[in-house]
Amino acid sequence: MKKKIIITVCMAMAALTGLAQSPLSFHAKAGIGTSHFHGKHSGSDTQMAYKAGIGAEYVLNKTWVLQSALEFVSIGGKDEIGHVGNARMHELYLQIPLMTAARLHLGKDYHASLSVGPYAAIGVAGKTSGETYNHSSSVQEGYRFKTGTFGSMADGKMGNHHFDAGIAVGLTFEYKRFIIGAETQVGLVKVNEQINQMISHSEEGGGYFPKNFAAFFTLGYRFR
């Protein structure tokens, strides 16, 4: 019986040692920052943004690392859009980045890394509010509205596409298992092309075609 217990303990220790030496690790991370829209004829004011998710990291060698994660990201912007004033557009995405990172070892328990790579996101929720104005009237009239951000304007939504993609860049510092960093993501997809139906513009004539931009300060913890 004692021999079986000793064998079991040895096997468990060997498994834990193998896990500790594994190039794969997992972490949780959350961040807060700001976001706005950029792109042709788009220059919105910033609004609060946040993100949270669980990620994985695979060490290729002493310098190069592959990183990915599953993140909930809340972004958007504030803008004046044609006949819509004080528009506040909120977008909640489920996002997956795929990053390549270069790691610099600063000491036994310290290291820094610079990462870059693409991301893809699916819009899952969000609300847009604002006030519409009738400039053709001698008396400026308007009414407040609130509607879903994603979905066709024909269905009463704001017209945003569910899909977004772009490039993300991050700089992180790690002490033992604790992670602190700064991240920026630049959207390359026009998140809304239907708003021009409402403000009677075309892209050549000065239409409104926003793309997402966001920056975060993040804190995280590595499980192994």
In a domain, 8, yes or no: no
Identify the pLDDT of residue 14. 46
Q: How many CA atoms lie within 13 A of 193 on its CB side?
A: 9
Strand-pair partners of 133: 142
Q: How many distinct structural domains can be found in the chain? A: 1
In angstroms, what CA-CA distances link 117 with 105, 162, 185?
21, 21, 10
How do residues 151-194 score in pLDDT, each as one tens digit?
Answer: 988 888 888 999 999 999 999 999 999 999 999 999 999 998 88
What is the H or E stretch that residue 23 is in?
none
Mean pLDDT, residues 19-45 taken together: 82
Q: How far apart are alpha carbons 184 and 42 in whole angstroms?
A: 19
Identify the pLDDT of residue 57. 95
- CATH number for the domain including 152? 2.40.160.20
In a domain, 153, yes or no: yes
pLDDT at 94 exceeding the cut of 80: yes
Pick 53 or 133 by higher pLDDT. Answer: 53
What average pLDDT does the structure give for the chain? 83
In a domain, 7, yes or no: no
In a domain, 186, yes or no: yes
Write down the residue that tokens 């820094």 correspond to.
112
In a domain, 1, yes or no: no
Which residue range(s) make up the domain with 76? 26-222
pTM over 0.75: yes
In a domain, 114, yes or no: yes
Nearest Cα to Cα of residue 52 among 30, 27, 26: 30
